Structure 1
Amino acid sequence: MVRAAARLPLFFLAASLVAGFLLRAPRSQRVDSEAARQSPRARTAVAATGELVKSLRIGGTIGTLRSAAIRAPELRGSHVVGWAVLTLVRLADAGSSVEAGDVVAEFELKRLEDHIADLQSYVTQAQASLRKRRSEIRILQGAWQHEALRARAESAKAVLGLPTAEVLSAIEAEILRMAAAVARARGKRQAEVERLRALVIAADLGYFDVWIRKELLHIERHSRDYKRLRMKTPIGGMVIRETIFNRSGEYAQVKAGDRINSGALFMRIADTSQMVVRAMVNQVDARTIRVGNRAVVQLDAYPGLRFSGHVAEMAALASPRRGTRSAGRMFIRQIPVRILIEDKDKRVLPGLSASVDVIVSMGQRGVLIPREALQHETGQQAGTFVRVAEGGEYRKRHIAVQGLSDTEALIRSGLAPGEQVLLKGLPRDQRR
């Protein structure tokens, strides 16, 4: 009995180990089966008959052939009234489509409206003051005219009394002549006073008139500025908002409420009807490209998607390679080119990266495969070979290559159209 009791714990321990193994076995088998299903498949290509096309591959960025830069308006006299910085109150949504003449942005209008109203009130007051001044001048002119008439009358009286000097005593005659001279002098002085008064009146009224005209021009200028604060696009296209430093000190996309410096770029309108790839070509390769060469455009964001195009523009001058600061690399020159995308597709958006195969020349026809499928070996069996799918395996087969392009190989012998070749690597179960 004691031995049987001692064996019971050993029995239960062995039973638990067996049960644990049985429970774990299905899980491991399930993991192995999932790994087998998820193993990567080999990349292959099918040999096809075609014409070897020699091309030059370049990289670039998608853009538009035509675009419009929208900048904050520069208002006249902004340094005086504090409008060097403007506040955005409304702008078109990013990515939306607009037509030529649509309002795409609007800046704060209230302050300018108040300023124009103040100027108009100043002009109204000045015009009232001018009318009052003219009335006062007319009253003064009446008094001055009466004074001038009296002076002329006294002068005429003195002159008329001169003939009586012959019958008067010498003293009385001299007094009469002196009175006539004084009257003539007063007449001349009165004429000069009238001339100076006319100049003063003209200057006084002219000052009011010039000031009023200046303020009217001021109002007209701000009225034009008022229209410019509601900005319209000169072309139709897609709205692209620029990134700026906002009031929070963050570098973010512009939005309503941001303060924009006068003349600063804050939006672009991209005409998406004509899309291009902006690229740089090395000066050595540029000699093989001509305007009008056909091209095939591929987007990095959409692998396998191809678009037809052609070289639309080539710059006349080369520029240093970007990012080359050392003196030696400054000799690396590149030429800007633009490739026009002929196909229309909504997936072609400004700013996407793209690769372009510019067709340089057309070659002979034959069996074509991707250049990536070619492999080389050295030794006694030195040569070029590919791995061809045969009976569920990829078998080595030596071939003769007739020509190469950047992406394709023209096969002279050893491969027939329709055969499947391995592009890269070898399935794990076939490695030896």
Structure 2
Amino acid sequence: MTLSRLIVTSGANIRVILKWGCVLVPMSACIGTLCAIFLWLLDQVTACRIAHPGLLWLLPLAGVAVGLAYHGFGRCAEGGNNLIIDQIHEPGGGVPLRMAPLVLVSTVISHLFGASVGREGTAVQIGGSLASGFGRLFRLEPHEVRIVLTSGIAAGFGAVFGTPIAGAIFALEVLSIGQINYRPLLPAAFSSIFADWVCHSWGIHHTSYRVTFGGAPDWGGSVFHMNPILLAKVGVAAVCFGLASLLFAESVHRLTPVIRRTCPVAWLRPAIGGVLTIALVHCVGSRDYLGLGVVAATQDGASIVNFFHTGDYTWSWLYKLLFTVAVLATGYKGGEVTPLFFIGAGLGNTLSGLLGVPVDLLASVGFVAVFAGAANTPLACTFMGIELFGATNIVYIATGCFVAYLCSGHSGIYLSQRVRVAKHADPLIIPNMPLRQARTVWDK
């Protein structure tokens, strides 16, 4: 390469870096700041709900209020995460900026009154909404809009969970099943890391999970990171995690049209979910399954943190699944991921006694594996396991995520995903088929 050619190429690269820096730095800072505000608000309303149990009785009315807000102002913002994924695959009208404040306020209201929803959906929609706004502000081309939207997803996910590397991989992997486009990798990684740093700079701290298991002694007495018998047991549990992912996703997808037929008025449907939640609380006799469920109101209550210790939580994972399906199918906002963490960790806690596996190990594997199966993102969830629990047990974490991914079938919580490479040979599933179509091929 001649000197003149090197100078021209270097100048072009510098211009590209400066251009993307002007877009991604302020965008990631805004997303990280909004995620910090969102997480702070969640802490406040959760404490308020626990202090005032009577708020649960107002959940149906709160749901109707959110439904009316989306009916009056939401329009295409109702599409949520699937709208963002669709816009990345086929850029069109963009993601409306009003999606960010609508979903933030709606999720906070849902948590205040006890709906069993998560926070990932809100963070991803905040990221996608702001990213689309920056794309319009800088008049980006369609291929550049794809990159900035992917980066927005990464920033929201990485900041809200404190897992920036998993956030970057998730943003790439969630778009398509079986194939990853690495072109947006650097912008997505930068956005996720920067947004996470901004969120942390506002004083936000994420829950720490302690996994004491650090390997088993081999035949020579040395501690090794993998035991074949233990790995086989984790593989068996991973099949259960994948089936739990499938059960969760299909329960939401199949109950939603039933609710729509039962109540044609969209803004009234959340009232059904509110009433179902109140009924479930009285049937189960516990409020542990309201809200996020990261930490319990009582010392021994069912919660993600407590699942890493021995306790009587046999059916907690199933109760959380019922609570969450009831509100998601009726239109409450928030997301599925933290409830999936609860379901996975709770199921891992239950299976640990049956399989003779250390409870903290199987709870940590279940934590990420059920999400991997439901979101079809095994690589991102493996990285998430490393960021949350450390790399010591990576073989077990990866095994759990990969097996759960395969066992969850062609279903999932994001119906706008494209099936690039099918999980198994199936003549009815063709390349680039949307997941919403692939999951119904056997119903026809």
- Common topology (TM > 0.5): no
TM-score (norm 1): 0.19
Bigger relative contact order, structure 1 or 2 (CA pairs below 8 A, ≥6 apart): 1
Larger radius of gyration: 1
Name the structure with the higher helix share.
Answer: 2
TM-score (norm 2): 0.19
